[in-house]
Amino acid sequence: MRPLQGIRIIEFCEVAAGPFCGMLLADMGADLIKVERAQGDAMRSWPPISDGYSQNFASINRGKKSVVLDLKSDEGVQAARDLILSADAVIENFRPGVMDRNGIGYKEMSKLKPQLIYCSISAFGQSGPRSREGGFDLTMQAMAGVMSVTGEPDGAPVKSGVPLCDFVSGLYGAYGLVSALRNAEQTGQGTHLDVAMLGATLAIGALQTSEYFGTGKDPRKLGSAHPRNAPYQAFKAQDGYFGMAAGNNKLWASVCDVVGRQDLVNEDRFANPTQRAANQQELLTILEEIFAMQPAQYWLDAFAAAGVPSSPINTYSQALADPQVAHMGYVQDLTLPNGVETKTFGSPLIFDGEPNPIGKTSPILGADTEAVLGALNTAPKTKAAV
């Protein structure tokens, strides 16, 4: 029995943050019902498209049911209300006020079901001077400071290649929702979770915000380097780059042994992590002159033998093919609802030595409308809901 089995959650979400939040809960066994408009979640059109079905959509919507409702009709709104009242929790990621205008916001629904958990994910939160503004991952990375510390020191602003703001907001939403479910079980009282992408992104920048609070100075872009430690970055070898992180003095001594420069161990400018970080440009020059003598794999083998953490700069195909990924059972088979066989990255959580099982497919738009609403005896009569 999975942890959230028996919990019903209704998702009114599109694109990434909310759907990812919902999928995490579905992976834990929740009965996750995704409510969509007649056109469906916009991500259904995102490539790669396999025989008419988006693999991007499938990657964050597995294990869900799809119900289509017209929330501009009285019948659709009534069906949505009945669905919410049948559930333990709601997730929505529209701009603040949208759910209220549709008559299915937290204030209205909690009157009818006080123990309801209602998770709202938005760009800036449900109140405040920016609450009515929208946001995407790019704009939130810019707003929350991520782009100010990403990229080379003298380069143009760069966003993370992974949509951090979207997915960390989904993670915080799932974390908050299951915590609120526990409280509701104990007290019978629900809650409205306000998950702002801005806040979630600032929260994972704990090292950067504490650097600013502690020094009064903004953290700087350092490329792949670290503000408080060295050597700790990507280095160029004879045939390309590799990553190496010597995060303490013992590892630094091992690095010196590997490169044949034991004389550097006790040099004042490299004597401790703080000094090495302050002089890391000089250190980079010294080390890369040596690394240029051999291919990257030579150094990776040497550092592995010495116990110094190091890694190739993998592409995603290389990362997914790593034997550790196979050992952990992260990559799982996925059958798209059109019958196409593919693979997906499943849950990274391991329970009692076993990978967490995932829903084996994602839904066809509206595939579950009749069954779900029929069970509630509230099936709307509009074309959009059939």
Beta-carbon neighbour count of residue 128 at 10 Å? 12
Tokens encoding 146: 């991520």
Tokens encoding 346: 């499943």
Tokens encoding 256: 């010196």
Tokens encoding 150: 């990403």
**What are the CA-CA distances from residue 110 to residues 82, 118, 145, 191 (Å)?**
13, 9, 36, 8
Within 8 A by CB and 6+ apart from 78, the residues are 378, 380
- Between CA 254 and CA 174 the distance in angstroms is 42
Which listed residue (166, 239, 257, 322) is catalytic?
Answer: 166
- Between CA 40 and CA 37 the distance in angstroms is 5
Please say if 166 is a catalytic residue. Answer: yes
3-state secondary structure of 194: strand
Within 8 A by CB and 6+ apart from 372, the residues are 33, 65, 67, 83
Beta bridge partners of 371: none
**What are the CA-CA distances from residue 316 to residues 57, 83, 165, 236 (Å)?**
19, 39, 20, 20
**What are the CA-CA distances from residue 85 to residues 11, 70, 111, 383 (Å)?**
13, 18, 11, 23
User: Residues with catalytic annotation?
Assistant: 166
